[in-house]
């Protein structure tokens, strides 16, 4: 990020509001999603790297927040974005209730390979989604890199009868993705890369290695809409725009990325406001008829107060914001 785009720290702190939003069901090992909301000249934006991420990685999320709040968004090509339902690692009998929160969605992404789940539980969950959505529904599964190559091969073989659209990040490394893609090619199920794009030193490495059939791109961990668009242009692979369990303010950034990409073949993972039990706006970006609007979101002051993080967590996030700002300043020279 160039120095002339990096606003002074006091400008960020002047509007910063730290929120803690409860989830409908446990997701990614958390029950509450924390985020910092900031108001820039272009509107509200969000800084919400997960708590375990180091400052160097989290600073990229701050660059994205600044890009969205302090610079005009690129031109959009569409004003509504079709989105998928997201099914956490719940028991099979809870699947229908989760899907009910995503009205009109024709696609579901199902979490698998959680450390506290068995392959049989994963299969039961995917089966329940297929039964709920019928034969025309699209099902993708996301392992978050939780399998080794042998486990992935067995799991994909076992889940193939449910007619998978693709398997997202079955293994952790680019080399493993390339191997599992080769091993399972006969099944005709595409392999998607997520963590190997957004958490990699070289986001293009997975494409250059022929390790994936499509990429999952997220604006915040890639440093903003413009950087993500550049990656999409250079990768030359189909993409899915997704989110990181954002508030509706953060989802607006993802929606603008999805609206700006030249081609949007797949439904996007931008419906996750439906996993929140509370949000910062009275008009959240939840799916309606299977899609969300492309628009900026203004938080409601009363909801910012209702979901304000406690004093300790607020101090923790503001200190993190300050450190990440310093990282960006150093990078800018």
Contacts of residue 264, defined as CB under 8 A and 6 or more positions apart, other chains included, come to 78, 81, 82, 241, 258
pLDDT of residue 289: 97
For 200-244, the pLDDT digits (tens) are 778 889 999 999 999 999 999 999 999 999 999 999 999 999 998
CATH topology of domain 80-293: TIM Barrel (3.20.20)
What pLDDT sits at residue 157?
97
Which is catalytic among the residues 111, 125, 198, 325? Answer: 111
pLDDT in tens, 239-249: 999 998 999 99
175 is an annotated ligand-binding site residue: no
243: exposed, middle or buried (Cβ count in 10 Å: 0-12, 13-18, 19+): buried
Active site residue 218: yes
Q: For domain 3-73+301-332, say whether CATH 3.30.390.10 is its number.
A: yes
Domain ranges of the chain: 3-73+301-332, 80-293
168 marked among binding-site residues: yes
Residue 57 annotated in ligand binding = no
Neighbours of 202 (CB within 10 A): 11
Q: Which residues contact 79 (CB under 8 A, 6 or more apart)?
A: 259, 293, 294
Q: 280 and 304 in contact (C-beta within 8 Å)?
A: yes
pLDDT band at 64 (very low <50, low <70, confident <90, very high): very high
pLDDT in tens, 259-297: 999 999 999 999 999 999 999 999 999 999 999 999 999
Comparing CA positions, the residue from 171, 159, 166 lying closest to residue 188 is 166
Could you tell me if 87 and 110 are in contact, meaning their C-beta atoms sit under 8 angstroms apart? yes
d(CA 333, CA 320): 20
Q: Which residues pair with 37 in a beta bridge?
A: 17, 46
N-term to C-term CA, the chain: 10
The string of DSSP codes covering 80-116 is EEEB-EEE-S--GGGHHHHHTTSTT--EEEEE---TT
Could you tell me the pTM of the whole model? 0.95
Active-site residue 109, yes or no?
A: no
**Catalytic residue (one of 33, 101, 218, 286):** 218
Give the residue among 299, 302, 301, 308 at the shortest CA–CA distance from 281.
Answer: 299
């Amino acid at each position: 990020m160039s120095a002339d785009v990096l606003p002074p720290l006091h400008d960020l702190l002047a509007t910063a509001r730290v929120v803690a939003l409860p989830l409908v069901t446990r997701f990614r090992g958390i029950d509450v999603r924390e985020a910092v909301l900031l108001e820039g000249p272009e509107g509200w934006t969000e800084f919400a790297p997960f708590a375990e991420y180091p400052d160097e990685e989290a600073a990229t999320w701050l660059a994205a927040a600044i890009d969205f709040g302090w610079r005009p968004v690129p031109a959009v090509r569409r004003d509504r974005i079709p989105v998928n339902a997201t099914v956490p690692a719940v028991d099979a009998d809870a699947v229908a209730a989760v899907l009910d929160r995503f009205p009109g969605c024709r696609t579901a992404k199902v979490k698998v390979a959680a450390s506290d789940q068995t392959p049989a539980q994963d299969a039961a969950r995917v089966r329940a989604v297929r039964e709920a959505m019928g034969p025309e529904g699209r099902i993708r599964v996301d392992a978050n890199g939780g399998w080794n190559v042998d486990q992935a091969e067995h799991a994909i073989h076992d889940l193939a009868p449910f007619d998978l659209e693709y398997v997202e990040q079955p293994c952790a490394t680019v080399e493993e993705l390339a191997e599992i893609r080769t091993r399972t090619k006969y099944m005709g199920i595409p392999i998607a890369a997520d963590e190997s794009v957004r958490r990699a030193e070289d986001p293009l490495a997975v494409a250059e290695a022929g390790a994936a059939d499509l990429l999952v791109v997220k604006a915040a961990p890639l440093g903003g809409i413009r950087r993500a668009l550049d990656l999409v242009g250079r990768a030359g692979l189909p993409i899915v725009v997704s989110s990181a369990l954002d508030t509706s303010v953060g989802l607006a950034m993802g929606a603008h990325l999805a609206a700006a990409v030249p081609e949007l073949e797949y439904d996007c993972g931008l419906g996750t406001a439906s996993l929140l039990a509370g949000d910062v706006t009275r008009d959240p970006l939840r799916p309606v008829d299977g899609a969300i609007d492309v628009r900026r979101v203004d938080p409601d002051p009363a909801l910012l107060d209702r979901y304000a993080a406690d004093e300790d967590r607020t101090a923790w996030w503001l200190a993190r914001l300050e450190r990440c700002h310093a990282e960006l300043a150093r990078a800018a020279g």
